Amino acid sequence: MEIDPFVFRLSIFILSIFVGYYVVWSVTPSLHTPLMSVTNAISSVIIVGAIIAALAGNDNNIFNESSVFGFLAIILAAVNIFGGFLVTQRMLAMYKKKKK
């Protein structure tokens, strides 16, 4: 019998939690705010779902009942992606070492 693809996804999920656990513990506390803004930006990869939803309409009816929600989600996720990465970039640019 073949393994249900769900089990594969679950394995990826569980292993990623562990990867996240170890990676985040090694983040230096002084960068915890950029950590939050960058995790914010990457969790907006949910935009791929929004794109699929938005493109599911046909040309006669681009904004149908379900694709409208896709388009709205695209706006929200895009605000987050651009805002999140740029504000992280802005913060990280401020962290400087002592001039020797």
Partner 1 sequence: MISTNLLALFYLISGVLFILALRGLSSPETSRQGNFFGILGMLIAVVVTFLSIGNFSTSFVYVIVFLLIGGSIGAMIAFKIPMTAMPELVAGFHSLVGLAAVFVAISAFLNPEAFNLGKSGNIKLASLIEMSIGAAVGAITFSGSIIAFLKLRGVMSGAPITFPGQHILNLIILISIIGLTYFLCTTQSSNLFWTLILISFLVGVLLIIPIGGADMPVVISMLNSYSGWAAAGIGFTLENTALIITGALVGSSGAILSYIMCKGMNRSFFSVILGGFGGTDQVSKSNNKEQKPVKSGNSDDAAFLMKNASSVIIVPGYGMAVAQAQHALREMVDTLKKNGIKVSYAIHPVAGRMPGHMNVLLAEANVPYDEVYELEEINNDFANCDVAYVIGANDVTNPVAKTDPQSPIYGMPILDVEKAKSVLFVKRSLSPGYAGVDNDLFYRENTLMLFADAKKMTEDIIKSF
Of 2, 3, 7, 28, which one interacts with partner 1 (CB under 8 A)? Answer: 28
Q: Which of 75, 85, 89 is nearest to 47 (CA)?
A: 75
Applying the rule CB under 8 A, the residues between 1 and 20 that interact with partner 1 are 5-6, 9, 12-14, 16-20
Task: Pick the closer one to partner 1 by CB: 1 or 61.
Answer: 61
Report the alpha-carbon distance of residue 41 to residue 94 in Å, rounded. 19
Question: Is residue 8 classed exposed, middle or buried when 0-12, 13-18 and 19+ CB atoms within 10 A define those classes?
Answer: exposed
In the bound complex, what is the minimum distance in angstroms from residue 3's beta carbon to partner 1? 14
Q: Is residue 97 within the footprint of partner 1 (CB under 8 A)?
A: yes
